[in-house]
Amino acid sequence: MVETGHFALVLAFALSLVQMLVPLVGARTGNQRLMAVGGPVTVTGFALTALSFTALASAYAGSDFSVANVWENSHSLQPMIYKITGTWGNHEGSMLLWVLILTFFGALVAVFGNNLPATLKANVLAVQGMIGAAFFLFILTTSNPFIRLNPAPVEGRDLNPVLQDLGLAIHPPLLYLGYVGFSVCFSFSVAALIEGRIDASWARWVRPWTLVAWMFLTGGIAMGSYWAYYELGWGGFWFWDPVENASFMPWLAGTALLHSAIVMEKRSALKIWTLLLAILTFSLSLLGTFLVRSGVLTSVHAFATDPARGVFILCILTLFIGGSLALFALRASSLTAGGLFHPISREGALVLNNLFLTTAAATVLVGTLYPLALEALTGGKISVGAPFFDLTFGPLMVPLLVIVPFGPLLAWKRGDVIAASQRLVAAFALALAAMLVTGLFIDGASVFAALGVGLAVWLVAGALTDLAVKSGAGSVAPAVMLRRFAGLPRSVFGTALAHLGLGLTLLGIVGTLCFGTEKILTMRPGETVDLSGHTLRFEGLFPQKGPNFTEDRARFLLIGADGNANGEISSAKRFFQARQMATTESGIRTLGLSQLYLSLGDEDNDGSVVVRLWWKPLVTLIWGGGLVMMAGAAMSLADRRLRVGAPARRRKPAAALTSPT
Amino acid sequence: MTRKQKRLSVIVAGLAFLAAAAGLTFYALGQKASYFYMPAELATASVQPGQRIRLGGLVESGTVVRGSGATVAFSVTDTQKSIKVTYTGILPDLFREGQGVITEGAFGSDGVFVADSVLAKHDERYMPKEVADGLKAKGVWVESKSQ
């Protein structure tokens, strides 16, 4: 089975070469039969990659330690779920997952892209093939997961204990679906450059792919943040760590792309910019892959460092980013420029959005790469952390968030700020009230906290105002309004949900950062501690045995006002024998939207332990808001206008002829 | 305004915005980046009390003292010089004597480094990259046994 997987991988590489050459030649020479090769080859390539991945996963599931990769990252005593997720809990396996998703998206284009113009489809598949070929070659030459060991060891070296968590089952696949999803947008852009033709229908093809990738990337980042929050035991949800930034930059650029693609689709403007953004977004995804996979950064994600891999990915990076930008420089001027519009309009607001988001992405890029560049040039070692990003990213986000509610309320072409402001009066009043209540009635609230809460409420209320205005609130009877509300296009709901989710995330961040409390203390069994009105009693340490670890579990009882216990929180120190490694399992109890978070430190000889406690108000909203944003993207995708693969099928023939408005 | 003037004004506004962002970025890089030092390098570098830096090295054997509450004192050494560090909080699981660590914080007026974070990687082969490079440069690096 393992050899089958290895062989399938080699075949998939060979097919990716066919996929990158044959349709391209076909599109160039106008040969229908050559172009038609692209589809079946892409689908077969995906099937072979899936076979290869399944072979590796089954080697993991069956603990086949004759495979070096399995031996290094698995253990026969691990629970089955971690055996399987361990497939991508290492460098080689995660790269295989990367190409699996890449070929999956290619196959989706091949299967659902029947109504694409033939040459465009051929070129898109060819570009997907090029990306695939580069990464297949990378895996086969530097990161082959199918290398055998002879003789086979009897026991594996265990998966890194930090990764033995359900988060590994969710975070990397979601993140990769996001990262790699942008490859389709990239391929569409490069294909458009190769053809030298771009029109509004191109944006209609690209937008659903952007939505899909953005949705998954949002989920991947949110899940990664939550995983780091509960697993690392530091109580933080975002560290401005370079690997986090690596996923955040494509998200920022992708968010900008999402918005500029709307302008291009609806107004045929910003064409060249949208195309460039699509290239930049995937370039940032590639850069993220490079930063995380090359070992230039020390982090939980750097599984193994091998200079050859870093150099190889750097070559891929240079080839694709350099190549696509060079093509852009050559061809962009031949593309027809889009229409003009008044600065105060929906388009204008979206341009402003793009300006802020891309600048924000650029500051994150500088903050992430500057330490690497400085070290390479001068040998000086610096770290750029939260203080830098608070000072640069923060000021860029605040004005952007202030204008978000205006955008959807402005008309296309020529908007009226005063009319939009009048509609937002209620939302503004609500935000002001929230600000005053926070500032005046909550103890210890700083000016920042009040402004933050106000801004979050402004976003949420603004999103709801948008829905209310579009269903005709205030001008029609409630029954008519309800009917209109139900009949609103799903993309309107998508926008509102995404903006609402943004507000919720902001509220969670402000709540946690400004109103959170924390305590570090040593506790003996029987002692109690108070934190922000919650009383915890330490019951003691209880040794337990897990499948492949032993642990000392510290149990704490949550004492209610009546003196009775009404809940338990437990945190544990785990020791994994195979790697001789300890981890801390934090104890979390969710109370409403807030959480009580507890992390265990060292145990003293007299039975006392160091305990770090946090009260994190509204913290769950940070990730809850991410889920709402994902729901917004899903809602937009469900809009019949954008349904993946069938954008034109459901359109009336007459509508297809007129340009979309 | 003509089409050309309109486009020009948009470009100028955009550039002004980018220049402001770039200015802020470089100001922040100068002010907010924290430099990494090994203990011996601190003798020549002029680090003021209160200036945030990262201090890396090995936890010197026999220096870890657990004080009252959750405060821990230890020394960080690069085998040439050692610096006293205090830290209040929970040490990483892999914090051990003889292990590499990176601490982040600032010197107090008494010359003791007050750390607000102590980092150690989640791996038994751990050696922070900065510390490993620093030790290699000093010629006191021993290749670890595993791999």
Domain identity same for A606 and A508: no
| Average pLDDT of span A458-476 | 91
CA distance A311 to chain B (A): 18
**Rounded to whole angstroms, how far apart are CA atoms A202 and A381?**
45
Evaluate whether residue A200 is within a structural domain: yes
Instruction: Among A164, A180, A201, identify where a domain stops.
Output: A164
The verdict on A191 and A311 lying in the same domain is yes
In a shared domain, residues A392 and A410: no
- pLDDT, residue B35, reads 84
- Chain A residue with minimum CA distance to B38: A381
- What are the tens digits of pLDDT across the range B74-115? 999 888 888 999 998 888 777 888 878 888 899 988 889 999
Q: Which of A343, A371, A392 sits opposite B25 (nearest CB)?
A: A392
Q: Are residues A530 and A497 in the same domain?
A: no
Q: What does the pLDDT read at residue A650?
A: 41
For residue A656, what pLDDT is reported? 37
pLDDT tens across A43-72, in order? 999 999 999 999 999 999 999 999 999 999
Q: Do B21 and A521 touch (CB under 8 A)?
A: no
Q: Per the CB < 8 Å rule, is A395 touching B122?
A: no
- Chain A partners of B35 at a C-beta cutoff of 8 Å? 380-382
A289 and A173 assigned to the same domain: yes
Is residue A181 a part of any domain in this protein? yes
Q: Which of A172-181, A304-313, A444-453, B28-37 has the highest mean pLDDT?
A: A172-181
Q: Are residues A235 and A270 in the same domain?
A: yes
Residue A376 lies in a domain: yes
Residues A391 and A501 grouped into a single domain = no
Closest CA to A384 of A396, A370, A395, A363: A370
CB A632 within 8 A of CB A624: no
Residues of B engaging A, defined by a Cβ cutoff of 8 Å: 3, 6-7, 10, 14, 17-18, 21, 24-25, 27-29, 31-36, 52, 54, 66, 69-70, 88-91, 93-94, 104, 121-124, 128-130
Task: Please report whether residue A645 resides in a domain.
Answer: no
In this model, does residue B125 exceed pLDDT 60? Answer: no
Cα(A100)–Cα(A46) distance, rounded to whole angstroms? Answer: 7
Q: Would you call A388 and B32 a contact, using CB atoms and an 8 Å cutoff?
A: yes
Q: Mapping DSSP to helix (H, G, I), strand (E, B) and coil, where does residue A61 land? A: helix
* Mutation for testing the A interface, residue in B7, B90, B118 having most A CBs under 10 Å: B90
Q: What percent of chain A has pLDDT over 70?
A: 94
CB pairs under 8 A between A and B: 106
Res A643: pLDDT: 54
How do residues A123-143 score in pLDDT, each as one tens digit? Answer: 999 999 999 999 999 999 999
Closest Cα of chain A to B29: distance in Å? Answer: 6
Select from B34, B93, B102, B130 the residue whose CB has the most chain A CBs within 10 Å, as the one to mutate to test that interface: B93
CATH superfamily name and code, B35-138: Nucleic acid-binding proteins (2.40.50.140)
- Cβ-based neighbours of A125, under 8 Å, separated by 6 or more: A19, A23, A38, A39, A41, A42, A106, A109, A110, A187
Q: Which residue has the higher pLDDT, A113 or A127?
A: A127
pLDDT at A623 > cutoff 50: yes
Q: Which of A91, A359, A364, A390 to mutate to test the interface with B (most CBs of B within 10 A)?
A: A359
Determine, yes or no, domain membership for A634. Answer: no
Examine the pLDDT at A645 and tell me if it is beyond 60.
Answer: no
The nearest CA of chain A is from the CA of B112 a distance in Å of 21
The confidence score (pLDDT) of residue A408 equals: 93
Position A661 scores a pLDDT of 35
Interchain proximity A521–B91, CB inside 8 Å: no
Q: What is the pLDDT of residues A334-373, one digit of tens each?
A: 877 666 777 788 988 999 999 999 999 999 999 999 888 8
| A139 and A233 part of one domain | no
Read off the pTM. 0.91
Give tens-digit pLDDT for A525-538: 999 999 988 999 99
ipTM over 0.90: no
In a domain, A486, yes or no: yes
Contact B99, B59 (CB under 8 A): yes
Look at A650 and B114; give whichever has higher pLDDT.
Answer: B114
Task: Report the pLDDT value the prediction gives residue B70, as an integer from 0 to 100.
Answer: 75
Task: Kindly state the DSSP code that residue A332 receives in the 8-state scheme.
Answer: G
- As a whole number, mean pLDDT of residues A266-288 equals 92
Q: Do A214 and A118 fall into the same domain?
A: no
The chain A residues in contact with chain B (CB within 8 A) are 160-162, 233, 298, 300, 340, 343, 355, 359, 362-363, 366-367, 370-371, 380-385, 387-388, 391-392, 395-396, 520-522, 573, 579-584, 599-602, 604, 610, 612
Q: Which residues pair with B36 in a beta bridge?
A: B54
Residue A658 lies in a domain: no
Question: Residues of B with CB below 8 A from A573's CB?
Answer: 93
Contact A581 B3 (CB under 8 A): no
Contact B35 A380 (CB under 8 A): yes
Q: Both A173 and A77 in a single domain?
A: no
DSSP A235-300: --S----HHHHHHHHHHHHHHHHHHHHHHHHHHS-SHHHHHHHHHHHHHHHHHHHHHHHSSSS-ST
Does the distance separating the beta carbons of A521 and B70 come in below 8 Å?
yes
Q: What is the CATH number of the domain that holds A156?
A: 1.20.120
Question: How many structural domains are present in chain A?
Answer: 4
CA distance B110 to chain A (A): 24
**What pLDDT digit, counting tens, does each position of B23-65 carry?**
999 898 888 888 888 888 888 878 888 888 888 888 888 888 8
- pLDDT mean over A214-228: 95
Chain mean pLDDT for chain A: 89
Instruction: Give the chain B residue nearest A581 (alpha carbons).
Output: B124
A651: pLDDT confidence band, cut at 50, 70 and 90? very low
pLDDT mean over B7-13? 83
A54 found inside a domain: yes
Q: Show residues of chain B in contact with A272, CB under 8 Å.
A: none
Boundary (domain end) residue, out of A119, A149, A164: A164
Flag if B24 and A391 touch (Cβ within 8 Å): yes
Question: B28, A298: Cβ pair inside 8 Å?
Answer: no
A387, B32: Cβ pair inside 8 Å? yes
Say if CB A225 and CB A238 are below 8 A apart.
Answer: yes
* Chain B hits for A599, Cβ within 8 Å: 90
Predicted confidence (pLDDT) at residue A641 exceeds the cutoff of 80: no
Asked whether the predicted pLDDT for residue A511 surpasses 90, the reply is yes
Give me the percent of chain A exceeding a pLDDT of 90: 64
Average pLDDT, integer, range A8-30: 96
pLDDT band at A642 (very low <50, low <70, confident <90, very high): low
Residues A494, A476 within the same domain: yes
pLDDT of B123 reads 45
Contacts of A387 in chain B (CB under 8 A): 28, 31-32, 52
Confidence (pLDDT) at A242: 85
Give residue B144's pLDDT band: very low, low, confident or very high (50, 70, 90): very low
Q: What is the CA radius of gyration of chain A?
A: 27
pLDDT band at A233 (very low <50, low <70, confident <90, very high): confident
Which residues on A lie below 8 Å from B88 (Cβ)? 520
Kindly list the residues from chain A whose CB atom is less than 8 angstroms away from the CB atom of residue B47. none
Select the more confidently predicted residue: B46 or A630: A630
Which pLDDT score, from 0 to 100, does residue B141 have?
57
Q: Give A66-109 pLDDT, tens digit per residue.
A: 999 999 999 999 999 999 999 999 989 999 999 999 999 999 99
Q: What is the pLDDT of residue A659?
A: 38
What is the domain extent for residue A5?
1-164
As a whole number of angstroms, the distance between CA B85 and CA B71 comes to 10
Q: Which of A387, A392, A583 sits opposite B93 (nearest CB)?
A: A583
User: Which long-range contacts does A223-228 make (Cβ < 8 Å, 24+ apart)?
Assistant: A223/A167, A223/A170, A223/A171, A223/A174, A223/A175, A223/A623, A224/A167, A224/A171, A224/A175, A225/A622, A225/A623, A225/A626, A226/A167, A226/A623, A227/A165, A227/A167, A227/A171
Task: Looking at the structure, tell me whether residues A151 and A173 fall in a common domain.
Answer: no
Of A233, A355, A584, Cβ closest to residue B17? A355
Cβ–Cβ gap B34/A367 under 8 Å: no
Contact (CB<8Å) A387/B3? no
Nearest to A382 among B35, B70, B89 (CB): B35
Q: Give, for B137, the enclosing helix (H) or strand (E).
A: helix B129-138
